[in-house]
Amino acid sequence: MTVELNHTIVSATDKHASARFLAEILNVPEPQPFGPFQVVQVGRTSLDYADAAHVTPQHYAFLVSEEEFDEIFDRIVGRGLDYWADPFHRQPGSINTNDGGRGLYWNDPDGHSLEIITRPYGSGV
């Protein structure tokens, strides 16, 4: 059997709002309830949002096609969200070209760092 990530739990101060935010930005199916979670399906992996009184920001990266990158980027800009070329937020309003692809970072409502990349790290120039 090949090992792959099936799901992860994402803490949120408002699981409905945070799950909807991610689903809308990535243009994936709307979140579905499952037990105490709001589940966002991203490919074969799900992000299961759970309400929490305290959120420790985490990092979630999504590998997307060039076309998906453009569409997601348009939604980020259209919402007036801040974005950066780097995880440390030192290059605001920029896109990186790591490994011959494109990437950027933005934050969700709870401060989780979200990233889209068109090439996996270490895969190119």
Q: Which two tokens stand for residue 70?
A: 């453009």
> Measured between alpha carbons, how far is 74 from 77 in angstroms, rounded to an integer?
5
> Measured between alpha carbons, how far is 78 from 1 in angstroms, rounded to an integer?
42
pTM: 0.95
Condensed to tens digits (0 to 9), the pLDDT of residues 33-89 reads 999 999 999 999 999 999 999 999 999 999 999 999 999 999 999 999 999 999 999
Q: What's phi and psi for 34, nearest 5 deg? A: -150, 110
Cβ–Cβ < 8 Å for 37, 18? no
Percent of the chain clearing pLDDT 90 (strictly above): 98
Question: Side chain identity at 111, as an amino acid letter?
Answer: G
Strands 103-107 and 113-117: antiparallel
